[in-house]
Every structure is written in C-alpha cells, then in structure tokens.
Amino acid sequence: MTQNWLATIALITWPLVGLWLYSTRPVSQATLWTILGGLLLLPVGAAIKIAPGIPQLDKVSIPNLAAMFGCLLVAHKPLRFWEGARVTKLLLAMFLIGPFVTSQLNGDVIFVGGGTVLPSVGNYDALSAVVGQFIYLLPFFLGRQFLHGSADTAELMRTLAVAGILYSVPMLVEIRLSPQLHYWLYGYYPSQFAQAVRDNGFRPIVFMGHGLMVAFFIMTATVASAALWQTRTRISPVAPAGVVAYLSAILLMCKTLGALVYGILLVLLVRFTQPRFQVRIALALAAISLAYPILRIGGLVPTTSMVELASSISEERAASLQFRFDNERKLLEHASERMLFGWGRFGRGRVYDATSGKDASVTDGRWIITLGQFGLLGFLAEFGLLALPIFRAVYTLRFIESREDRVYLTALALIVAISMIDLLPNSTISPWTWLLAGALMGRTETLRAGSRRRISTSYLIGAPVLNAGRSDLSAPHDGNADEQSGNPRGIFR
C-alpha cells in the first residue's frame, strides 16, 4: 500500500475541520461529526508516524485527538476522565493499567521454527500501548461528558440517520461501478478487492476499509431512522417511514447477511415493541458477548449447528463461518497458556507453524484479538466498558417519562449491544462505537443522579418517599442547561 499526497493532506487537515466544527456548532454536534466524519471519510491504513514509541496518527487517532483539542481549546470545556461509580473506575483502571502487567509477564523472547523470533514486551512498549489505549478510548469520555442529555440522544439519532442518507450516495456509486472511490481519491485499495465481490455484484467499501463495516454502519443508521419514525420526527422532506424503507433497501444491496439480520431484528424491535422489552433484549445480547469466551472454552457454543444453519443459506457463508471457528479454536488454545493477562503485542498471541515459522492463524473477532493480547482481564475491561451502560439502562429506564426519550435511549442501547455481538465474528470496533457507548453511559448516569436529587428533595420538603422508585416521582431531567450545571473540577476530575 502506498498512500498518495491527498491521503496525507486529508489526515493533516482533519484537525482543522474539527476545530472549525467546534467554533461554529454546539459541542455535542461538533463531537458527533468530528468522530463520525473521520470514520466515513478519512483514508484507511494511511498514517503519519512522528517517532518510535509514539502511536501513529491515522484514521482512528486523528479524529479522537481533534475532538479532544476542540473541546479544550475552542469550546473551553475541561475534560473529566476519572469519575463515575466504582465499577466504571475499576474497568478504566484495568483497561489503562493492564498493559503494564502484561508486559511484566511477557519478558521472554519466543523462538519459532523457521527462524521467526517474537521479541519480548518491555515497559517502554507497555507505555506506548497505554497511550494508544487512552487515545482509543477518548470518544468514550467525550460521549459520556457531552452527550448525556435527552436532547443529545435525539441529536445522535438524527445525526446517524442523516449520515446514512448522505453516505448512501457514494455507496450506490460503488454498488453500480465496483468499489473504486478509495482508489480514485487516495491511490490504493484499502482491502482485497475480491472480498467486495458478492452474488454477481459488489459490496460497497467507500472509505471504511471493508464491506462489513459499511453494511454495519448503514444498519445502525436504519435503526436510528426507525427510532425517529417511532417518534414521528422528520429529518428530510420524505416521511420517516420512507427514510426507513430507503435505508433498508440500501442495507439489502450491501449483500451482507449478518448486518441484514441485525437490521431486521432491531428495526422490528424499535418499531413494534415496548422500550422495556427492547432494553431487556439489549441486556441479553451484552451478557452473551461478555460470556462468550467462557462459553467457547466450555464448548457451549453450538458451532456445528450454526454452520449447518449457514449452509442452508449459502455454502460459501458456511465455509467462511467454519473457517472462523477453526481459527478461534487454535487461537483460544494458545491464549489459554497465558489466560489472565495475555501474550502482549508483536504478534505473540498468534499461532505459528512449528516448522516454517509462518503465521498460521487468522484473527477476525475482536474478542479473540483482545484475549490473545491482554488476556481475560483485558477482554473484561474492554467489553465491560461497552456492556456497563447497557446494564445501567435497564435500571434507569424507569426514571424516564418522556416517550421520545425512552425510545431513543433503548434504540441506543440496542445499537451498542448489537455492536458487541458483531465483535464476536468481526473486528469492527471504531471510535464511533466508543462514542455511542460513552453517550449511553452519560445518559444513564445523568438519569440516575437526577432521580437521587429528586428523592433527596422529597425528604427535605416532607413529601412521601415510599414509592420513590416509581417514574411518577422521577420526571426526566431534560435539557443540557441544568444537566451540565456545576463547576468543573479540572481536567482529571
């Protein structure tokens, strides 16, 4: 891969785009479009390397840093990283400190047949990993702090639906002409072209690197538009039902079975079931994702039945699924040798041929990648941070009386939950995923804090508190003005 000058210019200028957004738009909108725009438009694989040990500046890190500096320098909003409940702080500590423990336990050099040498992992490498983890997690902090209001959740849904409509235009171009836009603009193909060929046609890639990611994104946009349909909110001259139908047609043309199944399930849930049922489904999906490594180790995942079901649809898809399961098994056996804290970086968590020394494994799922690198505790830290706001949404839903707020909260919980499910067969996590999880975390924390304040006030004025958990005594804490009140206590609050 050789990036052209335009790819480098795109990376360099994106921080300027972010600063312009923060100078012209509210913080919530600027954060949404800075992170989402980087995901949709910046080149895949292109990077600017400043110095050894410093994480490279690329499609992931540049939008995250641009959003952080936009908040600090333009919006003059101090960032608060270390706050929240004990469970949240514990998961954050595990996520950011875990690489040091992994490094201490992987000081050995590994020699594989054929002359392959895998270096040891030292404290310098651990520090580099922690800096990378922090940058990687920035959207979670930003979403938690600046997208915690009911109006912010509604804005998030509108942004996702509008972005889906706009992105469908280049998608249709590639569906008709084949995935060429990334090559035409940035001078190289972001992935193997053969992977874009499906069912005598093409899957769009645009600027996201793979057809799976594009299909998953347009699926979430369809779910967001279904939530807007449920609340009768217009985002275009076309009726909300027409937007859902249009995006559903685009999703179908993506020729990706997994995303299509997700989309059908979630749109039906959002449109035709009650929010309480939806959030329970989200809870179940998150729980399955968290338990998946243990289920896989115990042989409780019905892999044979899943492959047989896939073969009834397509032999090609069944073969692909079987290939993934076979590689998972090999990688899981290797990971079990250092289960708690993993093997560290430099490919140490992969499986190599004992004779030739060549890499004999393919890592598709995010869960097995994280488990191999940082062990079971690293997996629990990453997936736990994604799952925790979903668990809290089950509890805080009772404090919402506004119908629109309930619809948007549960739709967001479903999107985050299905993102976790998709991380089992794929590695599709992105800054946008973390922003959504952070927004859900912030919203649930705001609702919980508001309910406590109301209960405390009831005691002070002598009002009955026997039914304080009921929604009639806990009206929604709406709007950004009072939810963002108070004096910030510094950048590391």
pLDDT band at 211 (very low <50, low <70, confident <90, very high): very high
E strand map for 159-286? 197-198, 201-202
| Across 473-486, average pLDDT | 38
Q: Which residues are bridge partners to 80 per DSSP?
A: 492
Q: What share of the chain is helix, strand, coil (3-state, %, to 5)?
A: 65, 5, 30
Question: Is the pLDDT assigned to residue 490 strictly greater than 60?
Answer: no
Question: Is the pLDDT assigned to residue 466 strictly greater than 90?
Answer: no
Question: What pLDDT, in 10s, does the model give residues 233-254?
Answer: 999 898 999 999 999 999 999 9
pLDDT band at 483 (very low <50, low <70, confident <90, very high): very low
Identify the pLDDT of residue 463: 52
Query: Rounded to two decimals, what is the model's pTM?
Result: 0.89
Percent of the chain surpassing pLDDT 90: 66
Q: Which two tokens stand for residue 162?
A: 């509008």
CA 431, CA 437: separation in Å to the nearest integer? 10
CA 189, CA 256: separation in Å to the nearest integer? 20
Identify the pLDDT of residue 363: 85
Q: Which two tokens stand for residue 249?
A: 């047609």
Question: Is the pLDDT assigned to residue 275 strictly greater than 90?
Answer: yes
Q: Which two tokens stand for residue 174?
A: 């590639």
Give the containing element (helix H, strand E) for 405.
helix 403-422
